Amino acid sequence: MKSYFIASTDAGMGKTYLITSVLRELTAAGFSVAGFKPVACGERTEARLMREAMGQPTLSLELLNPVYLRSSADPMMAAQLERKSLSVDRLKEAYQALSSQYECILVEGCNGWLTPLAEGVSMEDVAEALQLPVILVTENRCGAAGQVALTAAAIKRCGLECAGVVLNHPGEEWDTAAVTNKELIEKTTGLPVLASLIAGEDIGADFLAQLQ
């Protein structure tokens, strides 16, 4: 089972939902798998959900989320408000410590691909340091194809592989854009749509098979 960097086109696209669904399924199947949230701002909900999905509710949050900033802002500004500095090297070391204990790590980015961490440093630099294939999550709505194309181009420019796209449909009703986005994204970007998530449903076996 491979490790992956789970990125998104923006905040609130469904990264945590995808990761926790995968963690539950793989943990139940006996895989050694963990979630990793390098940087969290405002709260640690994502890391808490990850450890619950791993079936380890008492696991140290610091192991899964090494940098926690209390301010609800983008990391660069939250760090400045708290007079802290963010280091890609520190985040890489934390990832390596976790990967020494688990065979597969699902890394969750913070907000969008180029979210600033410090002057001249973004989440892209963290992904590049970890050298993991990227799965890109976006909300299944009108405009998704353009956002995917922009982010996928940035991923390619830094030399990383975008393994595919996951469409997250949070509502119950499907409009024309939601129905046609899969075909549009695959035709215009050449990337496979690995799964279409529907609110309240866990990830399917077909998607899990593609992670191996």
Q: Beta partners for 121?
A: 118
Distance in angstroms (rounded) separating the CA atoms of residues 128 and 107: 12
Structure tokens at 37: 């949230």
Structure tokens at 145: 């194809």
Annotated catalytic residue, options 2, 37, 156, 182? 37
Q: Is 37 designated active site?
A: yes
Structure tokens at 195: 């799964």
> How many C-beta neighbours within 10 Å does residue 141 have?
16
In sign, the C-alpha dihedral spanning 98, 100, 103, 104 is positive
Distance in angstroms (rounded) separating the CA atoms of residues 110 and 117: 9
Catalytic residues: 37
